[in-house]
Amino acid sequence: MPGPPIALLTDFGLDDWYVGVMKGVILTVNPEARIVDVTHGIPRHDVLAASFALLVSYPYLPRGTIFIVVVDPGVGTARRILCTRTAGRYFIAPDNGILTGLVSRVSPDKMVSVENQEYFLRPLSSTFHGRDIFAPVAARLSQGVSIDEFGPRIREFHKVEVPGPAVETASATATVVWVDSFGNLITNCRGGVVEDLAGRWGRVVVQAGSQPPFPVVAGYETVEPGLPLGIIGSSGYLEISIREASAEMRFGLGLGAEVHLLPG
């Protein structure tokens, strides 16, 4: 039975050696580690986008997985590094709000501030804690070192405001929080909210940009290729899509854009 996987989620991209050397450090500490890339394509320094990506991806990694989450514009400042056990998994992340979404849904069993330099790489750089702290700490965790070894227990940590959809009587406004490679616009509006509105209004339509409203449907096959639709996507949130084309291109909308839900 192999040990728990170590899952990486960063904004490093794959063009540099940064992800490669993190893997090298992990394998130096634990030659049997198994490493999975969740993504390295988080928009640079975008803590909110990373928080969302983590929230919708973590449940699909096995229980026991150790997540390294590095979107860390404050590297080299006094910000702390958190290690928490929650939802049956471990998460190592900078204390910059990136865990807000996760912890709002599942409260942590335990959280420590990673401070025990015994587990850090030497010399410690001021610009690449992913390599020098996150990677060796994750590798040690994967070998069974107790979370309490890494630093003192803490209860308070940094949170960011994660905007939810704004629901009014006769309309609701959702915000685009991720644009995927297919050009789908993923919003912050959970499927349950759309269902509630449908119960109240009978039928929900979406208005995006200056285009005429279009329906929220149950599957792509409901509309012809090339037509727009709203759909509760695979992550459980309302997405704006064009069947077999890019909603990003068609609507000219991106991260942070607002779309409107109206009675249909």
Q: In what order do the strands lie in the sheet with 5-10?
A: 34-39, 5-10, 66-70, 89-94, 81-86, 110-113
Q: How far is the CB of 200 from a copy of itself (least distance, A)?
A: 23
Tokens 């599957």 map to which residue? 219
2 binds a copy of itself (CB under 8 A): yes
Q: H or E segment at 193? A: helix 191-201
5 binds a copy of itself (CB under 8 A): yes
Q: How far is the CB of 204 from a copy of itself (least distance, A)?
A: 17
First CA to last CA distance, the chain: 53
Q: Which is nearer to a copy of itself, 174 or 179 (CB)?
A: 179
Beta-strand relationship, 228-232 and 214-217: parallel
Number of residues that bind a copy of itself (CB under 8 A): 64
Q: Given candidates 161, 168, 221, 224, which one binds a copy of itself under the rule CB under 8 A?
A: 221
CB atoms within 10 A of CB 255: 16
Q: How far is CA 185 from CA 117, 176, 189, in A?
A: 42, 6, 11
Which string of x and - marks every residue 138-177 that binds a copy of itself (by CB under 8 A)? ----------------------------------------
| Window 7-46: residues binding a copy of itself (CB under 8 A) | 7, 9, 12-21, 23-25, 27-28, 31-32, 34, 36-41, 44-45
180 binds a copy of itself (CB under 8 A): yes
Structure tokens at 224: 């012809």
Cis peptide before 123 (omega within 30 of 0): yes
80 binds a copy of itself (CB under 8 A): no
Q: Given candidates 156, 168, 202, 218, which one binds a copy of itself under the rule CB under 8 A?
A: 218
211 binds a copy of itself (CB under 8 A): no
| Window 85-144: residues binding a copy of itself (CB under 8 A) | 125-128, 131-132
Structure tokens at 252: 């000219």
Q: How far is the CB of 212 from a copy of itself (least distance, A)?
A: 23
DSSP string, 45-94: T-HHHHHHHHHHHGGGSPTT-EEEEE--TTTTSS--EEEEEETTEEEEEE
Question: Segment near a copy of itself (CB under 8 A), from 69-77, 103-111, 146-154, 202-210?
Answer: 69-77
Closest by Cα among 144, 143, 38 to 93: 38
The binding site for a copy of itself (CB under 8 A) comprises 1-2, 5, 7, 9, 12-21, 23-25, 27-28, 31-32, 34, 36-41, 44-45, 53, 56-57, 60-62, 65, 73-78, 125-128, 131-132, 178, 180-182, 218-221, 225, 231, 233-234, 239, 244
